Structure 1
Amino acid sequence: MAVWEPRRGETLLSRGPVEFATGMAAPVSGMRWFRDTERRDIQHELPGWPEGPTYTVRSRADRNVRSTARKAGVFGHTLVVLAASALGALGSPFGEPRIRGKSEDPENEVDDFPVIWAQQGGIARTLPWQLDPARRPAKYRTHLIITDVRLVVVGFPDDDPSRDESLCEMDRPFIARAERKKFSQGHRNFTITFTDDSWCRLHSYSENALGRILRHLSSTLVPLDQLTSPQRNAIHAYLAARAESDRKSGGSGRLNPYGIVTRRPSGNLLFETWSEPAEPVNGIAGYGIHLMSPEGGHPTLQPGDLD
């Protein structure tokens, strides 16, 4: 095995850590399900999947018992917890609330928590079991790779991407949309809906990686040889400014000029470059981004330009 690489003529856009999401609301905390469109549990129908835990949504009585036990155990720390929670809501370095805001989809976030939703033969059923934290081996990670033609899920043990194993792949035309789900830890859950209306709910523990994943699930690659002269000049000026800044800070000033350009929903263009190889925690680490208008100028930032 070796580090995964794209095929000849294929452009790598993003790589980052993902796994099936985990419920956060009290009835489903720490749990996840694999459902068909009738809400039946289908984990035993998924081909090649090993046995995993079977969960039951907590009743209100169960939640009351757990809540009472917690209150009894932390009574002496109530003021500290309240203070830390209040600071966390304001962006305190002490941490962030596990859940922010109100559920946008209580049927699938509070009353139930499916991470695969698929009819018989649905595309979401082809996802690998290694994405499940409750099934995969200890010290094993999974990354989602996005190129201009396909999505690939790879796994590797012992924090060593040089031992990448391709677990599944699918062509990009099968992707209908991707959406961040705010009712989650750090707002880092997201769903991918496929063209057959099956979907999955995933989580990334890296905000930078998630930003790149979502951006490149909804972007259109613009080949560098199709850029206009003003657009190329804007990129050269940006790279020159970055190199000068690097020299002033004690660096060599020799930056990797390789990059990609994508067209955002607003019509603006985003140039991205990175110089680090894929690493376990963050996948591909972005080195710099430059947003420009179709004319190569400095545009007003529009919704979706950087997401």
Structure 2
Amino acid sequence: MDWYPAPDEDLLLRTTAKFATGVAPAVSGCRWFRDPERKDIQGELSGWPSGPAFTLRTTGDQAARRTGRAFLVGIPLIANLIANIGGAAGSPFGDVPVRGKPEEPENEVRDFPVMWAASGALARTVPWQLDPGRRPEGYVTDLALTSRRLLFLGVRSGTLDKADVLGEFPRESIATARQMKFSEIGADVRITFADQSWIRLFTGNPDSAERLAELLTGTVQMLPESALSEGQRQRVTRFMADLPDTAQPPAYTKLASGIVMVEARVPAKAGTDLFETHSILMDASGAPAQPEPGDL
């Protein structure tokens, strides 16, 4: 692995992360950085290189982009159908539709801020490499959540280099998080800091967005690997051995009945920055388990 948590913390989740992109016709392919008065602040972000400037789409632009996007939007649905027909071990994109309904038209239809931050707010301190329009080609960013920190990591594709730690925030600096379903494959999440500034990220998979939001709001119980029994560890080893080498580290969720769900993300062939979720359920001994009512 290219990055390890400190001895006094446990890794709970790692997922790809980058600033999200609008999907509504007027904001399709766009993103903005705003203060609470909706002023553009990207020129005020300390140390950030210049990036693309976006404007709201005209009617002609919207029609052209809808035609081009029709093929891309269909990819996750086709992938899901193939997975379901073949009885795949994990649903690549979950049961989430390609897009939900707008929950905040002012931030998803008429505008699309991916940063909302007053002067001096925490959101302004996230790394600029999260912006696909600014980071170097071949450089990708991940989010790692541990028992005490949220970190942003930078990785150069196709290398074995150690990941760059681009930024980190103590867990107590995060107020809440929310999956934003009006997005490409429902994989956006909004992270709100204690000072009420926020960022909106694309995580590559709706399961990742949902799990991250649940973790940061405390609605699920995640387990560190150290909490697994010997039988469970052996089962996880066999599970991971069947996945490609590109699989991300597994995440462990203790469900209401006490059984453990293991999830691992694998880069999907359907498109760039998309991930499939593979999962298993196991009991305390590591044997396969069936979910009980209320587990899922």
TM-score (norm: length of structure 1): 0.69
Distance 1:286 1:27, change over 3 A: same
Q: 1:102, 1:183 within 8 Å by CA — same for their partners in 2? A: yes
Cα deviation 1:208-239 (Å, max 9, x = unaligned): 544543343334556789x8xxxx8xx56666
Q: Which residue of 2 aligns with 1:16?
A: 15
Match of 2:213 in 1: 214
Number of the residue aligned with 1:51: 50
- Cα distance between partner residues in 2 of 1:19 and 1:196: 21
Tell me if the contact between 2:139 and 2:157 (Cα under 8 Å) persists in the aligned partners: yes
Question: How far apart are the structure 1 equivalents of 2:151 and 2:174?
Answer: 12
3-state secondary structure, aligned to 1:179: strand
Equivalent position SS for 1:44: helix
Q: Which residue of 2 aligns with 1:29?
A: 28
Question: How many Å separate the matches in 2 of 1:301 and 1:54?
Answer: 49
Q: For the structure 1 residues 137 and 45, does the alpha-carbon distance in structure 2 shift closer, same or farther, using more than 3 Å as the test?
A: same
Quick check: 1:208–1:282 contact (8 Å CA) kept in 2?
no
Q: How many residues align?
A: 265
Contact persistence 1:261–1:269 (CA under 8 A): no
Structure 2 residue aligned with 1:158: 157
Partner residue, 1:200: 199
The answer for unaligned runs of 5 or more in structure 2 is 84-91, 243-248
Aligned equivalents of 1:197 and 1:141: distance in 2?
27
| Percent identity over paired residues | 36
Cα distance change on mapping 1:105 and 1:208 into 2, 3 Å: closer
When the two chains are superposed, the root-mean-square deviation of aligned CA atoms in Å is 4.5
Matches within 5 A, 1:1-307: 3-58=2-57, 62-63=58-59, 65-66=60-61, 88=77, 92-93=81-82, 100-160=99-159, 162-217=161-216, 218=218, 219=220, 242=235, 269=258, 271=260, 288-290=280-282, 300-302=292-294
* Matched AA of 1:107: E
Q: How far is the alpha carbon of 1:276 from its aligned partner?
A: 10
Task: Confirm or deny: 8 A CA contact 2:257 2:292 kept in the other structure.
Answer: no
The DSSP-based 3-state class of the residue aligned with 2:123 is helix
CA–CA separation in structure 1 for the residues paired with 2:191 and 2:258 = 24
**Structure 1 residues 187 and 259, CA, compared in 2 at 3 Å: closer, same or farther?**
closer
Structure-2-length-normalised TM-score: 0.71
Superimposed CA distance per residue, residues 245-283 of structure 1 (whole angstroms, 9 cap, x where no aligned partner):
x69xx99xxxxxx9986667xx665635589999x9689
CA distance in 1, matches of 2:214, 2:24: 27
Call closer, same or farther: CA 1:224–1:110 in 2, change over 3 Å.
closer
Per-residue deviation, 1:159:
3.4
